[in-house]
Structure 1
Amino acid sequence: MDVVDSRVERILRAAASAPSVYNTQPWQVDVTGSTVTLRADAARQLRHSDPHGREMLISCGAFLFNARTAARRDSLTAVVKVLPDPDDELLVAEIAFEPGPVPDMDELELSVAIERRTTSRVPFDDQPLFTDVLMSILQAAQGEGAELRLVQPSEPVREDVLGLVRRAEALAAEDPAARAEEAAWTTTDPGRDDGVPQDLLGPAADDERAPVRQFHASTGKAQFEERSTLAVLSTAGDSARDWVAAGQALQHVLLAATTYFVHASFATTVLENPTTRHDLRQALSLDGAPQMLMRLGYSSAQKRTPRRAVPGAAAHDRG
């Protein structure tokens, strides 16, 4: 294996640590020398909750941003050609790695954050994010062509957002197909390299107004914070290209937050239901389409969820 190929191997290991809905890891890669072709893996799509593949492509976009960021750590520049291809609807991007300048400090910090980022489903410290963190994550989203609408504890609209989250989850709880899909991806099997292990689901909230997703397989209850920062990521459009862009923006936000020791968890159910997604957009007066709702705060680092091996990269464990 030559130098470029060994770098690509490292890049793919880092890219595969991207977050994905239910840790489905819905990506496939083909490697030819220093060029990587990234496709969505339709076999890992949530057919009921994500029938159009929006969350699948957001997940692939997060993989793509990790690849771009990890490349800079190795002084490579990722030249990316993103969707669409009418002859290959699952094609997400073609990535060619070329020699680039030595990474600057910001690029190095983001690349190191790839290894540290984890989803945290436990209670956070009961406080909103500091101003420097807010500025950093806002700029991260804008840098990828997206917008981040922060919902602070003092805003009256926060109650509307939380109400929509609870409404969406109540509807999903009454849906046998939604329950079966969740059960399929929350597992007690220690040998699986995908899905969310039950011990990482976090406790259920003892207050239904808590800004957290309620998993049926959660064990125990806990009192969650009331003053964490909520954030809604949106894009101007709502096409497949926008979904990939949203994934890149999401991962840029998460890595920027990680450099400040800030963790995130996600409330995706409200965006999987067309009605509550529309109502969320109206409640926040968003100009664009909401793509992700997350809660951000300070907490201890959590164990990482497992990851599948990707071609050219050995199996590894990321969160």
Structure 2
Amino acid sequence: MDVIDARIERIITASAHAPSVHNTQPWRVELEGNRMLVHADPSRQLRHSDPAGREMYISCGAFLFNVRTSARRESLTAQATILPSPHDKLHVASIRFDPALGPDMDELELSVAIDRRATSRTPFDDQPLDSDVLLEIQMAARDEGADLHLIHPSDPTRSNVLTLVRRAEALAGEDAVARGEEAAWTATTAARHDGIPQDLLGPSATDEQAPVRHFLASGGDAEFEHRSTMAVLSTPDDTPRDWIAAGEALEHLLLVATTYFVHASFATTVLENPTTRHDLRRALSLDGWPQMLMRMGYSATHPHTPRRTIEEIVAPGEPETAAE
């Protein structure tokens, strides 16, 4: 690999801290002068659970938001063109870096939050988020063209949502291919630079009304909170462009949450099943399409999942193209 400009190397390293489904990190980068080409990596797609690549594109959108944010820390602007090639569905974005003034305080705070953000799969404090924090988190999602529907502890739809989550997990548990796919990316060894290690899967909840995802390889049981805030991130439509926007919105709101010491965990199984995804949309009377379900709360700092190296992310040559 050619020598990479130090600023671009720092941008890529920071951007790779983006959240991704099962920590698959399904992004691939090419560099051309002051341009970065971001591609989705189909070899890291969950082919069974995510056949259309929705979660893969969301993950790449989160990576893209980190590129934009970390570029400002380097006194650069990242001008992104989304899905620039009609013939290459995996070409997520072309980014041009231009010199700019240094970051303002808000930009700097977000860029610092990139390294601090971590998904938490352990119990949160048993309280909802403060209203002013929730407002800022919602505004962050809207800045990227998405909406964040809040499900408060007293919301009567909350039990319906949790019932759908458990139903989707039960159906996935009966699916041998789905179980195998999850096993390939969870309870991973220390030698892996991706996936979720066993000690970071978190425990299973002791009751069905706890707002937490159950992994097949989760270790032990624990009592989870019941009054944390739940939220559904949605977009106006349900196309790859919307999925990328959902990823950018997700990372933006997560970084804002991190500045308030708020963590999040995700329940994606309910959105991977077309039936339960439809039922979730109907239960919440959403105008848009649900792209992510999460719980958010206050907790201690959580360890980070492993990340791939620069050499594994930046690759020369032509990217693999998506099948029609």
Task: Tell me how large the CA RMSD over aligned residues is.
Answer: 1.4
After TM superposition, give the deviation of residue 85 of structure 1 in Å.
1.9
SS at match of 1:58: helix
SS at match of 1:232: strand
Cα distance between partner residues in 1 of 2:313 and 2:226:
41
The answer to whether 1:180 aligns with 2:184 is no
- Equivalent pairs counted in the alignment come to 312
Cα distance between partner residues in 2 of 1:136 and 1:198:
33
Give the gaps of 5 or more residues in structure 2: 315-324
The 8 Å contact of residues 187 and 201 in structure 2, kept in 1 or not, is answered as: no
Equivalent residues in 2 for 1:42-191, closer than 5 Å: 42-191=42-191
SS at match of 1:178: helix
Could you tell me which residue of structure 1 aligns to residue 295 of structure 2? 295
The 8 Å contact of residues 9 and 310 in structure 2, kept in 1 or not, is answered as: no
After TM superposition, give the deviation of residue 74 of structure 1 in Å.
1.1
Identity fraction in percent? 67
After TM superposition, give the deviation of residue 312 of structure 1 in Å.
9.3
Cα distance between partner residues in 2 of 1:131 and 1:303:
27
- Larger displacement relative to structure 2 (4-13 or 53-62): 4-13
For residue 9 of structure 1, what is the amino acid of its counterpart?
Answer: E
The 8 Å contact of residues 263 and 296 in structure 1, kept in 2 or not, is answered as: yes
1:151-196 Cα distance to aligned partner (Å, 9 max, x none): 0001101111111101100100111011000100013411000100
Cα distance between partner residues in 2 of 1:188 and 1:142:
35
For residue 196 of structure 2, what is the amino acid of its counterpart?
Answer: V
Task: Give TM-score, length-normalised by structure 2.
Answer: 0.94
Cα distance between partner residues in 2 of 1:171 and 1:78:
42
After TM superposition, give the deviation of residue 73 of structure 1 in Å.
0.8
The 8 Å contact of residues 230 and 295 in structure 2, kept in 1 or not, is answered as: yes
Could you tell me which residue of structure 2 aligns to residue 31 of structure 1? 31
For residue 143 of structure 2, what is the amino acid of its counterpart?
Answer: G
- The 4+ residue runs of structure 1 with deviation greater than 6 A are none
Task: Give TM-score, length-normalised by structure 1.
Answer: 0.96
After TM superposition, give the deviation of residue 231 of structure 1 in Å.
0.5
The 8 Å contact of residues 82 and 241 in structure 2, kept in 1 or not, is answered as: yes
After TM superposition, give the deviation of residue 4 of structure 1 in Å.
9.0
- Larger displacement relative to structure 2 (78-87 or 23-32): 78-87
For residue 263 of structure 1, what is the amino acid of its counterpart?
Answer: H
For residue 310 of structure 1, what is the amino acid of its counterpart?
Answer: I
Cα distance between partner residues in 2 of 1:312 and 1:206:
39
